[in-house]
Structure 1
């Protein structure tokens, strides 16, 4: 059983800076996102990973490359939450037509539900727990927050409790046999 999973959110993109919801729009990293992704390598130094996984989207794959993991295995279950009709829009823009909207509490027309994202994350958790050692994952803000909630045995919507900035490193593991948050948003 894997003793830990290290999560890395991709570096900054134009839309992550502007607050636009970005799922399937395959944006490149900004120059500052690339620079931040390079700093991830130092934060991962000293750990040997049994598996290294990445979202298929280029912002995550490129972050993995810049962090020193160009051979990361593409895992389709790590793609970002699909925002459907809300793709490319900010929360204030969405709330003009859907007051009080959050991805955690309201549907995204044409997009995924929290339960659908949780089903993908549950498959990743199962894979990580079956690994022969620590696992490293490169992905996106909302899907990593749902993955964290599922690792901890929480409902997917509890991912709302875990703010996650770009180019950060977080570690999930155990306190004895209980799944635990070891480091967050570092």
Structure 2
């Protein structure tokens, strides 16, 4: 079984301001582009079996700048759909829904944790079955949930994996045990 390399897209205006961004297709900020370019030497020379990306512009552009312009679009890598909370900060949500988190609350008009688990399980299963390493470019909550699913945990346990923009993480297998080999680097 190969490793699963995760790259969170570079910074956008909304990621910097804490606004929940799923379907809104924002461009990278200049700092986000710089972070994506900085990933290129870290990933160069690695022979990935497949490189996948979310269809969102911020993920695709990160893939391009990191040296993977031909990354294959995978709809399963879209960000958790925030529904009515799209473009809204957690602080604003707490005014009407105190204590809400994406991990434990319900998201009006958005995806459930079970729906997120179903699509990310497809990504993890395919990566495990594929000979060689898989590289994916996607989003914060999506990748945190994917890490939880890789480890056999419920999606809600993605809450324990903080993940910055423009970072690289690696999920692996150690003698049959799924592990986090590198996180948020």
TM-score (norm 1): 0.98
In structure 2, the residue corresponding to 1:123 is in which secondary structure?
A: helix
CA contact (8 A) 1:23 1:83 kept: yes
Structure 1 CA distance, aligned partners of 2:2 and 2:133?
A: 6
CA contact (8 A) 2:167 2:184 kept: yes
CA contact (8 A) 2:44 2:67 kept: no
- C-alpha displacement of 1:175: 1.4
Aligned to 1:108: 107
CA contact (8 A) 2:2 2:127 kept: no
CA contact (8 A) 1:43 1:169 kept: no
Structure 2 CA distance, aligned partners of 1:141 and 1:6?
A: 14
Aligned to 1:56: 55
- C-alpha displacement of 1:58: 0.5
Greater Cα offset, 138-147 or 40-49: 40-49
CA contact (8 A) 1:8 1:167 kept: yes
Structure 2 CA distance, aligned partners of 1:161 and 1:43?
A: 25
CA contact (8 A) 2:49 2:133 kept: yes
Q: Which runs of 5+ in 1 are unaligned?
A: none
In structure 2, the residue corresponding to 1:50 is in which secondary structure?
A: strand
Aligned to 1:22: 21
Structure 2 CA distance, aligned partners of 1:145 and 1:178?
A: 18
CA contact (8 A) 1:37 1:66 kept: yes
- C-alpha displacement of 1:45: 2.7
Aligned to 1:10: 9
TM-score (norm 2): 0.98
Aligned to 2:121: 122
Q: Which runs of 5+ in 2 are unaligned?
A: none
Structure 2 CA distance, aligned partners of 1:31 and 1:147?
A: 27
Structure 1 segments (4+ residues) deviating >6 Å:
none
| Number of residue pairs the alignment of both structures matches | 185
- C-alpha displacement of 1:3: 1.9
Structure 2 CA distance, aligned partners of 1:55 and 1:31?
A: 20
In structure 2, the residue corresponding to 1:137 is in which secondary structure?
A: strand
In structure 2, the residue corresponding to 1:170 is in which secondary structure?
A: strand
- RMSD between aligned alpha carbons? 0.7
CA contact (8 A) 1:39 1:67 kept: yes
Structure 1 CA distance, aligned partners of 2:131 and 2:153?
A: 24
- C-alpha displacement of 1:98: 0.2
